[in-house]
Amino acid sequence: MAQTDLVFSCNYQRGKARLGTIRTVHGEFETPVFMPVGTQATVKSVLPEDVLKTGSKIILSNAYHLYLRPGTETVKAAGGLHRFMNWKGSTLTDSGGFQVMSLGSTVKVTDEGASFRSHIDGSEVFFSPEISVRAQVDIGADIIMCFDQCVPYPVSKEVARKAMVRTTLWAERAKSVPVPRSQALFGIVQGSVWTDLRKESALSLSRLDFPGYAIGGLAVGEPKKDFYEIVRSTVGYLPEDKPRYLMGVGHPLDLIEGSLSGVDMFDCVLPTRNARHGRAFTFEGGLNIRNRKFAGDYGPLEESCDCVTCKGFTRAYLRHLLVAGETLASTLLTIHNLRFFQRLMERIRESILEGTEERLRESILEVYPFREE
């Protein structure tokens, strides 16, 4: 394994669920952990210090977007991602595999890499495993990801297998790119909803001895029962002494199920995207603050919440901001939602330690039931 400054420690385990810490050169955080998404080197509508105050210690950005704009050379010249965006905590960059999949038929994928046109100016772009890793090295995130081929759902097993094999091939090539000790390169497991493909992918990547592993290609429309089965099964084939990251997953119930299955890291746009649409998360259920009933409600979003928003602003005021089109609404709701997700992770970690995870699961399921699409 390439030498890295990233250190993962499993401090407690019961069943598959475990509590740990991850240390990077930019700090230490407890796991299971939720990472807010700052795709383009910003968590939308909030300052970096706002994010830190919610209890968030690591955020995610995306190499695909930063490669296209402003360009990785600009980020590197600024001193790397942390200085560029003035973020004091740890960072992770996704490689762009999911974004390439979202381009649909406009992208051409071969064993060499992916060819597509920029959504910004229409210019031709080629992304390979080597280019993706070099871009992330220049960006300077603490944790970086191998370029993978993610497939949509539904998809045939033949197509899923081909993408899985290609992802392993790309991971082997990614390993050939020099990565500084300050950065840790993770492999990404693919295989869609087939447990045998996921097993093959996980075991193949494990032999490459990465500092950590991600489970990708889920939460793209597959049934929840398949989703949970894949996560539980895949975790069993990944090394116990390395962190496990479930990519793009953030429904409250998913965070609990994933944590109890042995996942250590999660990320999702759910808290920030919902905030921009006027929706708040609470432990009593979701709130649509645009609703007229909140016009005369002078209580906080959530009585038990300790965030800046709940300490100083009322539901009536937040609704006023939303109806008036004031951007402060997005800022205040984002702060609250990010704090909710960090409070949820705190409760998950506490429940694992105290043996009350089933009670927590039931309470979250009651107010945030999942619905099949």
Query: Which residues are catalytic, by number?
Result: 94, 267
Query: What is the distance between the alpha carbons of residues 221 and 313, in angstroms, rounded to a whole number?
Result: 37
Exposure letters 330-343 (e unless 16+ CB within 10 A, then b)? bbbbbbbbbbbbbb
Q: Provide the CA 338 distance to its chain's centre, in angstroms.
A: 13
First to last CA, the chain: 41
CA-based nearest residue to 148, from 178, 116, 174, 125? 174
Query: What is the distance between the alpha carbons of residues 215 and 261, in angstroms, rounded to a whole number?
Result: 12
Contacts of 312 (CB under 8 A, 6+ apart): none
* CA atoms 370, 268, 273, 336: torsion sign: positive
For residue 20, what are the β-bridge partners? 10, 31
For residue 268, what are the β-bridge partners? 36
